[in-house]
Structures are given as structure tokens and as C-alpha cells.
């Protein structure tokens, strides 16, 4: 099993979520996060432009079976893409165990 962590633009979240549902990735968690990156956002207040390095993004956490890893990563890459600086990052790590609390099922069966 693999854990996919993706940091994407908030504006692309709906598109990413729909694309994940189309490939039957129906359970994942997400948070609104603030980070610092290469992109610089500017804000205008009363006609004065302010530059900030704090960037608003959405953080997705998805656990999938090994068989779904490539498909899931490709869907995120395609649906989150704008071609501009700040499209985000994807990180993949191993998950050694997973349990469904209600039934006690473990590992890949607990993801279904």
C-alpha cells in the first residue's frame, strides 16, 4: 500500500476530486494549508499592492493499493496541471499496515 500526499491549487480541487472519483478513488482526506514556495502571490488593498510568500493550497492524503498507485498519481498530475509555477507537489510513501476500525479488517481489504 502507498500513501499519496498531494499539495495542489485550491482552484483545481474540484477537478482533481472528480477525476479521482472517476477512477474509483472514493475516500481521501484533505485540508486547507498555507505554505511557502517559489510562487509569489500579490494582494491589492486600497490600491496598494502587497507581496506575500504565504500561499494558500489544498493538501490531499490518499492511501491506495500498489495496483492503484500509478493511475492515481497520473490522474492528479493531469487534473491539477496548469503549467504555471505553483501547480504543487506529490509525495509517495509506503504504508505498512491499515485497519478498518468498524470491522477490524486490515491492509488492502480495509481500503475497499
Look up the CATH number of the domain holding residue 78.
3.30.70.120
The torsion of the CA quartet 88, 7, 27, 3, rounded to 10 degrees, works out to 100
**Residue 55 sits in which domain range?**
2-111
Residuewise pLDDT in 10s, the chain (112 residues) = 999 999 999 999 999 999 999 999 989 999 999 887 766 666 666 776 665 667 889 999 999 999 999 999 999 999 999 998 889 999 999 999 999 999 999 998 988 8
At residue 94's C-alpha, the angle toward residues 3 and 110, to 5°, is 60
How many separate domains does the chain show?
1
Distance CA 37, CA 52 (A): 11
Amino acid at each position: 500500500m502507498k500513501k499519496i500526499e498531494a499539495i495542489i491549487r485550491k482552484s483545481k480541487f474540484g477537478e482533481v476530486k472528480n477525476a479521482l472519483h472517476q477512477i474509483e478513488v472514493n475516500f481521501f482526506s484533505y485540508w486547507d494549508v498555507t505554505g511557502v514556495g517559489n510562487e509569489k502571490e500579490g494582494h491589492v488593498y486600497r490600491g496598494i499592492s502587497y507581496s506575500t510568500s504565504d500561499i494558500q493550497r489544498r493538501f490531499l492524503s490518499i492511501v491506495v493499493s500498489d495496483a492503484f498507485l500509478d493511475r492515481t498519481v497520473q490522474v492528479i498530475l493531469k487534473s491539477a496541471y496548469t503549467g504555471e509555477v505553483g501547480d504543487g507537489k506529490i509525495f509517495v510513501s509506503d504504508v505498512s499496515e491499515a485497519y478498518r476500525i468498524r470491522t477490524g479488517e486490515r491492509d488492502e481489504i480495509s481500503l475497499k
